[in-house]
Amino acid sequence: MDNVTFIELMKLSITMPMLLVASILLVAYALERFWYYYRAGRLESSLLVEVRRLVREGKIDKAVDCCDKHKGLVPEIVKAGLNASHLSRIDAEDTMESYKERSQNLLRSRLAVFGTISFIAPLLGLLGTVLGIMRSFHDLALSGSGGPTIIAAGISEALVTTVAGIAVAVPAAIIYNYFTGRLRDLMVRIDTFTSELIILLYGERTIERRHG
């Protein structure tokens, strides 16, 4: 296995090109998700603090303008709730809920690819190893000679696919768990803030009605 070229490595088993494609998809989707979460999935504390202050002061229009100055899914959700503040509390909650579901779907997009690759990559590697061992015994049966040395060399080459499968699966599993954790944490924070926003928007009205 010394000084094996890339082309020779791809020819070891039919599963090696499959694992190469899986690794390319893994890198491409991982970079895309990192960039997307950085741009759209951020939750800036300064925005939330400013929106809280403006809502408490009754400056809903300025709170909307504040959201317009920030890019991402979170400002869109907050802006939707603010724009629906003239409606009933249930309608405002439903409006934000629809935006939250849309945002969650966008953030969850392509995460299934990482889970799938982490699952099938070791199986592809194992399949390549089994096929390689079968080929080694088949060649030994045809030659009628060679002994353990030939078998050992064949098995050594066959095991490369298992190593390749694990090498692809481990990063895929780590990336999947990372983004799943980020998604869960982000949605919990969004749910917490939107609930607080509803209380800020409608809690004052309830008190005013009671005293009116």
pLDDT digits (tens, 9 = 90+) for 52-111: 888 888 888 998 998 888 888 888 888 898 898 888 888 888 988 999 999 899 999 899
Q: What are the residue ranges spanned by the domains of the chain? A: 6-211
Is a pLDDT exceeding 80 seen at residue 51? yes
Q: How far apart are CA 43 and CA 47, in angstroms?
A: 8
Q: What is the dihedral of CA 63, 64, 68, 70, to 10 degrees?
A: 40
C-beta of residue 170 within 8 angstroms of C-beta of residue 163: no
Other beta carbons within 10 angstroms of residue 2's beta carbon come to 3
Residue in this structure with the two tokens 């779907």, named with its chain if needed = 105
Mean pLDDT, rounded, of the chain:
84
Tens digits of residue pLDDT in 111-127: 999 999 999 999 999 99
Question: Could you tell me which residues come within 8 angstroms of residue 118 by beta carbon, excluding any fewer than 6 positions away?
Answer: 169, 170, 172, 173, 176
Q: How far apart are CA 96 and CA 83, in angstroms?
A: 10
Confidence of residue 150 (pLDDT cuts 50, 70, 90): low
Confidence of residue 207 (pLDDT cuts 50, 70, 90): very low
Residue in this structure with the two tokens 């944490």, named with its chain if needed = 185
Enter the pTM of the model.
Answer: 0.81
- Sign of the C-alpha dihedral, residues 105, 106, 110, 114? negative
